[in-house]
Structure 1
Amino acid sequence: MPVITDPAFYAVAVPAVLLMGISKSGFGAGFGALAVPLMALAVPVPQAAAIMLPLLAIADVLGLKALAREADRALLKLLLPAGLTGIVIGWLLFGVLPAKAVAGLVGAITLVFLAIRTVFPPKADAPPPARAAGFFFATVSGFTSFVAHAGGPPMGFYMLPLKLPPVRFTATLAVFFAAVNAAKWLPYGLLGLIDLTNMGTALVLAPVTPLGVWVGVRIVRVIPQALFYRMFSVGMLLTGIKLVYDALK
């Protein structure tokens, strides 16, 4: 099976996959959206997304095994249909909108959101966001996830103000993104992104994925809630800066 052999690719791909695995546990979840931009330093964005897809599938299986029972099922009934709607939109617009433009938009929205939360922090007794906001951001998440596996920041917009316990927060995102990632396989195949080179390269990188998930799951069950959300916000900040930088360079 043909694989990518360039050492420069693996120099960025291994850290990218490790970050993705750790983010699947919920610890540093905002960092997960950095995986494709980091890998895209060595290969085109669509190819990076294709290589990451089977690795995401491995991470999803491991994450679901560890966390699925902790998910907020009522919340998922709202988020899952919206996320799948976003996948369809991404499929229809793939090739029409440049991946860099979408990434830059996601990055800019992420930075604006964090700035607003910093300047105007939510009050302790503030009501949770409206369900309509959840449907909107889950749809955006499905779309950006399809284009560049960057669905984490839009979900953070809606999920962070809910102030769920870290394990429930993590488990709900794990189930949501497992469904979204599974829905990508058919359109990715029809778009010609599933080929032997990409799948062979993913197979070489596969052992890195469970290592990242294992590390993250161990941490997320013991980390204090305040530190957990601070780490998530830092991940979103770095993601936003990286995505905007990639769009502008």
Structure 2
Amino acid sequence: MDLTSAPILLAAVAAVLVAGISKGGFGSGAAFAGAVILALVTEPQTALALMLPLLMVMDVTALPAYWRKWDPVAAAALCLGAVPGTVLAALVFRSADADVTRVLIGSIALLFVAFQMSRDRGLIRTDGLPGGRVAGWIWGGVAGFTSFVSHAGGPPAAVYLLSRKVEKEVFQATTVLVFWAINLMKIGPYALLGAISRDTLIADLYLAPVAVAGILTGIWLHRRIPAVWFFRVTYVLLAVTGTKLIWDGLA
């Protein structure tokens, strides 16, 4: 598959912009939508491998804006917990075929939408949940697993950070730092599993400026505009694409 063909690059540009804007702080947590979109036009493992270096470019671009504004206790707990979660996910990823991966990615997308909508309506509350180190290790393990198989570690990390009642900027800074670390953990296993290839890296070179533009746009919007409309559009997008991936995987 030619990852630099016009149809795939157009889909990739849209995917990377959505991920970058979210990762920059405007609609935080929905950055994995990029991988979900790409999985519709490429093999799911290829979509994940293509997005990983771009997510790392986004991490590096976003870090200076949130430097030392994170919660150090929460960040350390989540990163430590993510290690066994990442190892477990690598073992699952190694034995899963493309259709199983499609179902996994699609299911996580729909669960994300259900979680966010339930939280927005007050059906799920984080008040009273444990916010200590042990809870951080547990949620970090879940985040490491879901991040590896679909780049969707945001919701588990969000549950933990919200239980600690951190401020908006501390929340965003902590997630940027944590997923910078988790994405670094994923490079070796992705390479060993053969997901990262010369073709994905060449496509990444084309898309790196788009990743930076998305991050800078997200940072700008984060400080000026409520994220409600971005979230609504992203929910619909994830619901449709997630359902399509599950359908394709089962069919």
Q: Distance in 2 between matches of 1:154 and 1:69?
A: 22
Which of 132, 152, 163 is 1:150 aligned to?
152
Which SS does the other structure have where 1:193 is aligned? coil
Change (3 A) 1:41 1:105: closer
Q: What is the TM-score when the length of structure 2 is the normalising length?
A: 0.85
| Maintained 8 Å contact 1:188/1:194 | yes
Match of 1:70 in 2: 69
Report what 2:140 is aligned to.
138
Pair 1:38–1:104, CA change in 2 (3 A): closer
TM-score by length of 1: 0.85
Residue 11 of structure 2 aligns to which amino acid in structure 1? V
In structure 2, the residue corresponding to 1:70 is in which secondary structure?
A: coil
Q: Offset at 1:100?
A: 2.0
Does structure 2 conserve the Cα–Cα contact (< 8 Å) formed by 1:12 and 1:41? no
Q: Distance in 1 between matches of 2:52 and 2:117?
A: 31
Map residues 94-243 of structure 1 onto 2, 5 A cutoff: 94-97=93-96, 98-117=100-119, 118-120=121-123, 122=125, 126-131=127-132, 132-223=134-225, 227-228=226-227, 230=228, 234=232, 237-238=235-236, 241=239, 242-243=241-242
Matched, 1:58 2:61: no
More divergent stretch after superposition (17-26 vs 161-170): 161-170
The alpha carbon displacement at 1:33 in A equals 1.4
Structure 2 residue ranges without an equivalent (≥5):
none
Please report how far the alpha carbon of residue 168 of structure 1 lies from its aligned counterpart in structure 2 after TM superposition: 1.0
When residues 182 and 121 of structure 1 are mapped into structure 2, their CA distance, relative to the original with a 3 A threshold, is closer
CA distance in 2 between counterparts of 1:19 and 1:54 reads 16
Say which SS state the counterpart of residue 45 (structure 2) adopts.
helix
Paired letter, 1:5: T
RMSD over aligned CA atoms reads: 2.6
Q: Is the 8 A contact 1:70 1:167 kept in 2?
A: yes
Change (3 A) 1:78 1:147: same
Q: State whether residues 90 and 189 of structure 2, in contact with CA within 8 Å, keep that contact through their aligned partners in structure 1.
A: yes
* Equivalent position of 2:45 in the other structure: 46
Partner of 1:93 in structure 2?
92
AA of the residue aligned to 1:13 = A
Larger CA deviation: 209-218 vs 156-165: 156-165
Deviation at 1:222, TM superposition (A): 3.5
**Match of 1:69, SS?**
coil
Aligned residues: 242
Aligned: 1:18 with 2:21: no
Q: Which moved further from structure 2: 153-162 or 83-92?
A: 153-162
Cα 1:40–1:20 change in 2 (3 A) is: same
Paired residue type of 2:83: L
Deviation of the 1:88 alpha carbon: 0.9
Q: Which deviations, in whole Å up to 9, do the C-alpha atoms of 1:195-214 show, x marking residues without a partner?
A: 21110111011111111111
Q: Which amino acid aligns with 2:76?
A: K
